[in-house]
Amino acid sequence: MVTPSESKIHALVFSAFRESHGRAISLDDLEKKSGVEKAVVKNSIKYLRESGVEIDIAASGYTLSSLPDIILPPVLQAGLKSRVMGREVHCYKSVSSTNELAKRLADSNAPEGALVISEKQTRGRGRLGRSWHSPSGLGLYFSIILRPQLDFTKMPALSLVAALSICRVLDKYTGEKSLIKWPNDCLLKGKKVAGILVELSAELDRVSYAILGIGINVNDGPNDFPSRLKSKATSICMIAGKKIDRAELLRDFLYEFEKSYSNFHRYGLRFLGPELVKRSAV
């Protein structure tokens, strides 16, 4: 597990590779662009290659041969526009539930915006204890630690704030209008594409933290869903007709959610009301 400080360095190096647009880049240029000394750059390259990022080495320098479809802290944080959400990332290949891991981190004073994400969940959960289908490498399964300065009675609306943020991003990637099946499902063409689970830790009327758990079907194909879900579920890829960059999608969501979450603190649901009504699937 890389530390947050190591992750930041890896993100700087990976950003330098992205900005080279597939061209070879020398160690000297990597040092200049990332602001990290050569020895540290070499360690970052070693970490990225061992993690599955395809970086070719030749006499002319280093080349990022393709953008990887993997979720790593540096891959996610390169180009991240949000200031709080996703600035600390904990990535896993497989976990039982990202919400459970996020709770442990929150109990250990992890900051607001800390993100727990896994390529696969073996016991992913939805609302009312329902299971969430979480196959490896196709979707986004993540949890965000929130420490809202809000009255306890406003907490149930967090799922709507998240749902609206998801819908705005879904519209961007598919060109379709996504809808919200209150309070925690997002639909595309009448089928479920994303689900939300908010869990609270509270004492009396004070909320210690909230865990925002989200599952999004991103690159699932028709045959990736079990029989019981084929008539009810869809994915962004199936609607858009093309494979989606999951890291880019997640960056866009984190930025959109951060804006909505901030506005929710300032204005309550008033700023969301009209759009929520228009997006209601009921």
CATH of 4-64 given 3.40.50.720, 1.10.240.10, 1.10.10.10, 3.40.1440.60 = 1.10.10.10
Sheet holding 185-188, edge to edge: 89-92, 115-118, 140-146, 206-216, 191-203, 185-188, 179-181
Confirm whether pTM is higher than 0.85: yes
- If we measure between CA atoms, which residue out of 67, 89, 74 comes closest to residue 244? 67
Amino acid at 15: S
Domain 80-278: assigned CATH number: 3.30.930.10
- The ranges assigned to domains in the chain are 4-64, 80-278
DSSP assigned state of 21: T
Task: Please tell me whether residue 168 adopts helix, strand or coil conformation.
Answer: helix
Give pLDDT tens digits along the chain (282 positions): 667 678 889 999 999 998 998 899 999 999 999 999 999 999 999 999 998 899 999 888 999 987 778 888 888 998 899 999 999 999 999 999 999 999 999 999 999 999 999 998 887 665 545 556 777 889 999 999 999 988 888 888 999 999 999 999 999 999 999 999 988 999 999 999 999 999 999 877 788 999 999 999 999 999 999 888 889 999 999 999 999 999 999 999 999 999 999 999 999 888 888 899 999 998
Output the CA–CA distances (angstroms, integers) from residue 61 to 15, 44, 163, in the order listed: 16, 15, 44
Query: Do the first three CATH levels of 4-64 and 80-278 match, i.e. the same topology?
Result: no
Q: What does the alpha-carbon distance between residue 186 and residue 232 come to, in Å, rounded to a whole number?
A: 12
Q: Give the DSSP per-residue string, 224-259.
A: GS-TTTTTTB--HHHHHTS---HHHHHHHHHHHHHH
